[in-house]
Amino acid sequence: MRKMFDSFNEQIKNEFYSAYMYLSMSAYFSDTGLPGFASWMRVQAKEEVTHATKMYDFVLARGARITLKAIDTPPSTWQNPLAVMEAALKHEQFVTKSINDMTDLAIKEKDHASRNFLVWFVDEQVEEEQSFGDIVNALKLIKNEGQGLLILDRELGARTFVDETQTAAD
């Protein structure tokens, strides 16, 4: 079981890193005069913290140890809005792979509790990749500029924070 909980501790770090990077992206959008994108990214950062704490609570519930790790410095500047969203999508794909690897490990170790717990994250990653992917596609369509960018900014600004880890069955 040791390996399983090492991977949870590692993933808690990855989720906090996601929050940290999305906060950095939010700051970039604030700087570039896109308050809707900035607000969307702040909501996203909050969501990532709930992912980290959901895992944290699970590790404790299983009687295993939490060992928090150092969080890397995220990038602070990008070429344009599309480059930001492409980097975010790429990061989500990395997180998906990591969750999938954890699921493989849970199956290998016959750790049914971890396997079941991770189902929520497997589903969540489908949504994550889709929402970032949709924004990447929209930005490509409007070529990163003009009125389209302002409309998209307004649309993204409407997103509000919902703690999905609390609305789930637990």
Establish if 51 lies at the interface with Fe ion (CB under 5 A): yes
CB 39 within 8 A of CB 157: yes
Residue whose CB is less far from Fe ion, 48 or 111: 48
Question: What CA–CA distance (Å, rounded) separates 71 from 13?
Answer: 6
d(CA 79, CA 81): 7
Which pair of tokens denotes residue 123? 């589903």
Site string for Fe ion, 91-130 (x = CB under 5 A): -------------------------------------x--
Least distance from Fe ion to the Cβ atom of residue 147, Å:
29
Residue 54 makes contact with Fe ion by CB under 5 A = no
Give dist(CA 45, CA 34) in Å, integer: 17
Please name the helix (run of DSSP H) or strand (run of DSSP E) that holds residue 82, with its range, or none.
helix 81-108
CB 15 to Fe ion: min, Å: 5
Nearer to Fe ion, 27 or 43 (CB): 43
Q: In the window 125-154, what residues touch Fe ion (CB under 5 A)? A: 128
* Whether the Cβ atoms of residue 5 and residue 61 lie closer than 8 Å to each other: no
Per CB under 5 A, residues contacting Fe ion are 15, 48, 51, 128
